[in-house]
């Protein structure tokens, strides 16, 4: 579900329970006060959790979301609640990463968005998933996502 602040009040500044699933989560967007300026906004979720859809075991990831806003910004409290709603959701790494990127892109309509999902190993193999959409403006500096490849012990 997506809504704009003009239709319903934001979750920000009021009690908002953790949604039971990503389908029940509401992402809020707010007006970008610098819509005339190209810049990168970054959200990092180093303790993202979901469940393996086959075994029910927990999976953990370090997510990095970068975007060049257009008219809208994602409201951070709603993003935290949305990401935390995956805690009891069963989905593969690729599905979680791409679904989050697509939902944010549809809501915000940014000039450009990318998400990096750096998943911790299960069964001895880390899986990193990357998705992006839109066109990066030429005058924008985008830093490296800063997540080292998995190295194991030492």
Q: In this predicted model, what pLDDT tens digit does every residue of 107-139 receive, in sequence order? A: 999 999 999 999 999 888 889 999 999 999 999
Q: What CATH number is associated with residue 81?
A: 3.30.1130.10
Domain boundaries, position 29: 24-127
Helices 93-108 and 76-84, packing angle to 10 deg:
150
Reported pTM = 0.91
Domain annotation covers residue 42: yes
**Token pair 């309509």 in the structure block, residue:** 109
* Number of domains comprising the chain: 1
Instruction: Say if 50 falls within a structural domain.
Output: yes
In degrees, to the nearest 5, what angle opens at C-alpha 88 toward C-alphas 59 and 76? 90
Q: How far apart are CA 38 and CA 116, in angstroms?
A: 21
pLDDT tens digits for 25-80? 999 999 999 999 999 999 999 999 999 999 999 999 999 999 999 999 999 999 99
| Contact present, 60 and 49 (Cβ < 8 Å) | yes
CA torsion, ordered 22, 134, 130, 57, to nearest 10 deg: 0
Using 50, 70 and 90 to split pLDDT, how confident is the model at 5?
very low
Q: Are 79 and 43 in contact (CB under 8 A)?
A: yes
Please identify every residue annotated as catalytic: 52, 59
């Amino acid at each position: 579900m997506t809504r704009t602040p003009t239709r319903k009040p934001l979750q920000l500044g009021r009690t908002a329970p953790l949604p039971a699933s990503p389908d029940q989560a509401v992402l809020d967007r707010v007006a970008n006060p610098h819509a005339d300026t190209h810049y990168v906004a970054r959200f990092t979720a180093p303790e993202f959790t979901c469940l393996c859809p086959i075994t029910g075991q927990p999976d953990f990831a370090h997510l990095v979301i970068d975007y060049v806003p257009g008219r809208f910004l994602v409201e951070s409290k709603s993003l935290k609640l949305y990401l935390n709603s995956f805690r009891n959701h069963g989905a593969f790494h690729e599905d979680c990463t791409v679904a989050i990127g697509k939902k944010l892109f549809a809501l915000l309509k940014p000039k450009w968005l990318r998400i990096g999902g750096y998943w911790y190993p299960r069964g001895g193999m880390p899986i990193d998933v990357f998705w992006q959409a839109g066109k990066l403006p030429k005058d924008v500096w985008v830093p490296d996502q800063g997540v080292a490849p998995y190295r194991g012990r030492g």
